[in-house]
Structure 1
Amino acid sequence: MYMATKNSHTMITTITQHKKWFVTIFIIIISSYFIFLKMHVSPKATTVTTTPVNVVQVKASDVPIWLQAIGSVKAINTVMIKVRADGELQKTYFEEGNTVKKGDLLAEIDPQIYQAQLDQAKSVAAKDKAQLNNALISYNRASKLAQAGAGPSQDVNTYRAQVATLKATIEADQAAIDEAQIQLNFTQIKSPIDGRAGQRLIDVGSIVHASDNTGLVTITQMDPISIQFTVPQNNLAAILLANQKNNVEVIALQPNTDKSIAIGKLTFIDSQVSSNSGQVTLKANFDNKQQNLWPGTLISVKLLLRTDKETLIIPAQAIQQGNEGPFVYVIDKDQKAHVRNVELGAAMGDLRQVTKGLQLTDQVVTSGQYRLTEGSVVNIVKQDNVAVKVGQ
């Protein structure tokens, strides 16, 4: 009995020792595994968040500085054609809306009575000339007889007075002929200017009078043509300065666009500023052979004040507004974004002039800037280019 118990105790002891060895070996294996991982597996690298952006290099270019205004197209000359002789309107020679030239025959009034008056004046003049010739003959004969002592000197004086009277009469006759010719010419109505004929206001067959208020037709000069516009008085000094240097260029623009219709020159600066509006009136003349400008039309114009040489320009989309005014994000050599306050000049379509705050070597963010803050690290996805041809 004792022997059995002893053997049983020995067995239990052996099993316990085996468990300890097993646990010890397991712990050693696990520890070795973690030591292996620590020695052979590199630690996970720390990641830095970057913001993808597009950037553009600041460019330099000559920038024209324009002043924009709204004006109206006006004909340089507009003539209401009125009749200058009484009578029946027999015929018209123009088509409504067509172009006419200076001297073109527009209409004709019945000339018969005026032709008769001219013929009568010419016949009176012819009669008086015949009488003058007869008086000259009598005067010369009386002079010769008086010199020879064969005739009285009183006859010489009489014939001399007749000759002088008839000469004056002939001058009056010539004046009557000229007047009759003028009246006859008035029966042919001609255009005084090149232009475009408007609506015919008098029908053929109507009896017209020189005293009538109604005209026959309006002729509007189309080429050249002018645009009248006003600008604030604050711009007057710059305009006067530009006008002293050379002829100031003015461009007429298509509606709702910046595209040119015609290019002209400033021809008139009013001598006074309106006390009511604070505006000064200007005019510019344009060649209008294509008749793109039409009298009475409201139109946008821009006037060239000056050209700034080699000034900095950037895309307008790069500019943001902050509490301190406009700013842009500039990227440094470490690919970090920094806020840069700027002062802006003229706008040129999608470009903007920068007068202060940037340098030619700067790169500014044009896309993705709304996700940036001061010092943000960026990833430059695309390098854009500025079109330096700012033109008009």
Structure 2
Amino acid sequence: MSASIEIREGYSPQNPETLAAYLSGIDAVRAVLGGEPPQWTIAEVGDGNLNLVFIVKGPAGGVAVKQALPYVRLVGESWPLPLSRAHYEHMALSEQARLTGKLVPHIHHYDERQALIVMELLEPHIIMRRGMIDAVEYPRFADDISSFMARTLYFTSDLALTADRKKAMIAAFAGNTALCKITEDLIFTDPYRVAELNRWTSPELDTYAARWREDGELKIAVSRLKLKFLSSAEAMLHGDLHTGSIMLTPEETRVIDPEFAFMGPMGFDVGAIVANFLLNYLAQDGHVESPGARDGYRDWVLETLERIWTAFREKFLALWRENPTGDAYPISLFAEAEGAARLEMERQAYMDRLWADTVGFAAAKMIRRILGLAHNIDLEWIKDRELRATCEARALTLARDMMVNTAAYGSIATVMAAARQVRRDIAHY
């Protein structure tokens, strides 16, 4: 953590009273809202870990305003955080919009000094995690998120970019070190040691937490993943791609909040989606209204997860075949028939390696949401503590095996089968 709160000339945190005056000076925003500032309504709605978020509505329309604070909102001023994360979020959103169009919110205005972004108000979209807790099905999501991941990861990788352009992207995101440090500590380190900010369902999971801290095999496995996170600048990542960073309706998907963006291993983004679907699947028993009431929804969760990975793999490979423009695997080396066949074999092997990374990173994301600082409401909102602990014990057991026995999970089908099996095997924490 930094030693002191950042002080930036001209920066001041907004509130509903000051924000109206600020927005009134931005023509593009006034055009969206319509009317005059006294006709606007402003509400601070941020429930995330880091930032201020406002919803502003006028006679003609609305906008969302996100402003970085110079500290971690979840913890307070004892944990300073650079305002520059808004710069990286804006840069990532701009690149994602170029590559995926309407799968991210439109930006109306960006203010570097104020670390503030004014963007499209997403209504009636809701946070996906909340919808899944309520057992809402999203028929378009698998297609949308697989397209988002395939296009953002492929087109920012060495498979599509020349070496100079790729290195320029690495340089552009290299300064987002504070957000990467949060990931490095909270995901790959703290859950496996005594750390002040760790928390879990206690005392029910005390023995699990202790075992995870003493598990040498697990700590080696997570350290290998951390090394890959630190050293493999494969593509531009969203960096925090979970169901809390997605707003959607059954017909439309938007990916939000890429302030953790950096150049890293592709499996980290894909693994985050896998982890959140597995956590939701294993949390459903804590939200069921009556026995058997959510059996169909649990099936939908796993079937959608299967469609996500299958579609992602197919789309990524199609992009590679159609756009072999990067300096990796130069197409001129594989022009003859035998070479083309060998390249196709290598493409399949590449995706198998990416899947193995995905399995490991998914496991790490699951463990951190139960034994670390920031938890998922999928599990946190289970009111019965013993039932919550049981759901969490299942997730921890599955995640540990995925991380230390990754080779046993050679397909999405094996992950699905293991999730179903651990739910049957563990009846009580």
Class of the TM-score when normalised by the shorter of the 2 chains? under 0.3
The structure showing larger relative contact order (alpha-carbon pairs under 8 Å, at least 6 residues apart) is 1
- Which structure dedicates a bigger proportion of its chain to helix? 2
Largest Rg, 1 or 2? 1
Greater share of strand: 1
